[in-house]
Amino acid sequence: MQIDLGGKTALVSGSSQGIGAAIAEGLARAGATVILNGRNSRSVTRAAETLTRAVPDADIKKFVADIATEKGALTAAERYPDVDILINNLGIFGATTALEISDEEWRRYFEVNVLAAVRLTRLYLPGMMARGWGRIQYIGSDSAVVTPAEMIHYGVSKTALLGVSRGFAKAAAGSGVTVNSVLAGPTHTGGVEDFVYELVDPALPWDEAQREFMRVHRPQSLLQRLIEPAEIANMVVYLSSPLASATTGAAVRVDGGYIDSILP
């Protein structure tokens, strides 16, 4: 399967680390011009340097801004008006007892995890439709379907993205633009190793530790290990390509079988 995104420009929100950085690398390997985004110039520069080492011929743009704000989103659209691939990766999470989540926290999670993606879609979808080609994706989570008791505000925000994705796919119907969600399962990102070793024997080698963590604390996973960010990026790159032209309005799972359901 040959994926060629040469001549395409991709904006990946929140791409200075973790899943977003892996997605940026995957898109760059496929030939896309990639716009890296983060709120901190140092982290964005570091991400650009890492990406350049991995893909020496990568065409990289650096966009430092809080893209979750109206100002940041508008600046992105003004500076990079002809984005072909929009990956709404930016998101926040954190554990809070359900009855202790304040109105302010609920609003913050909705603003960052939902409204930021809606706003960027609203800014970029018309141009894609006018050009007759485009790809929009929302990086979701197994928590959209399996609501976590320790952070229901996060889970609900990801559930909302499924509706957002399906709704905008309908708005783009027949235009050549596809809109999809990607449901990521438990993923090996920064800080996760420390979290795992808080729950399992710290003397275990990493491969054994993560398998023990998954067996005891995430037993519904069929993969029985954490997903690597690059594995999620592989699906995103495919969905960004012309090869995925018939996939739209979908919630595509890269969850390691974590969601115990035939459908999402």
Q: Are 183 and 251 spatial neighbours (Cβ–Cβ below 8 Å)?
A: yes
Task: Looking at the structure, tell me whether residues 162 and 205 fall in a common domain.
Answer: no
Q: What amino acid positions are annotated as catalytic residues? A: 154
Q: Are 172 and 133 spatial neighbours (Cβ–Cβ below 8 Å)?
A: no
Task: Looking at the structure, tell me whether residues 159 and 74 fall in a common domain.
Answer: yes
Task: Looking at the structure, tell me whether residues 134 and 222 fall in a common domain.
Answer: no
- The CATH number given to whatever domain includes residue 27 is 3.40.50.720
Is the residue at 2 inside a domain? no
Please work out, in degrees rounded to the nearest 5, the angle formed at the alpha carbon of residue 185 by the alpha carbons of 231 and 241. 40
Task: Looking at the structure, tell me whether residues 146 and 215 fall in a common domain.
Answer: no
Query: What is the pTM assigned to this prediction?
Result: 0.95
Is the residue at 244 inside a domain? yes
Please work out, in degrees rounded to the nearest 5, the angle formed at the alpha carbon of residue 145 by the alpha carbons of 212 and 126. 125
Query: pLDDT tens digits for the chain (264 residues)?
Result: 899 999 999 999 999 999 999 999 999 999 999 999 999 999 999 999 999 999 999 999 999 999 999 999 999 999 999 999 999 999 998 888 999 999 999 999 999 999 999 999 999 999 999 999 999 999 999 999 999 888 899 999 999 999 999 999 999 999 999 999 999 999 998 778 887 888 889 999 999 998 898 998 888 999 988 999 999 999 999 999 999 999 999 999 999 999 998 876
Q: Are 37 and 16 spatial neighbours (Cβ–Cβ below 8 Å)?
A: yes
pLDDT for res 77: 98
Interstrand relation of 9-12 and 251-254 (parallel, antiparallel or unpaired): unpaired
Task: Looking at the structure, tell me whether residues 202 and 216 fall in a common domain.
Answer: yes
Is the residue at 154 inside a domain? yes
d(CA 125, CA 168): 9
Residue (of 180, 171, 106) closest to 140 by Cα position: 180
pLDDT for res 146: 92
d(CA 183, CA 141): 4
- Residue 174 is classified by DSSP as T
Alpha helices in the chain (DSSP H): 18-29, 41-54, 70-79, 103-110, 116-131, 152-171, 192-199, 206-217, 229-240
Residues linked to residue 76 through DSSP beta bridges, in sequence order = none
Question: Per-residue pLDDT tens for 74-125?
Answer: 999 999 999 999 999 999 988 889 999 999 999 999 999 999 999 999 999 9
Task: Looking at the structure, tell me whether residues 14 and 137 fall in a common domain.
Answer: yes
pLDDT for res 152: 96
Task: Looking at the structure, tell me whether residues 82 and 199 fall in a common domain.
Answer: no
Taking residue 128's Cβ as centre, other Cβ atoms within 10 Å add up to: 24
pLDDT for res 261: 86
Residues linked to residue 252 through DSSP beta bridges, in sequence order = 182
Is the residue at 4 inside a domain? no
d(CA 161, CA 112): 11
Q: Determine the 3-state secondary structure of 189 from DSSP.
A: coil
Domain residue limits at 221: 190-226
d(CA 146, CA 197): 24
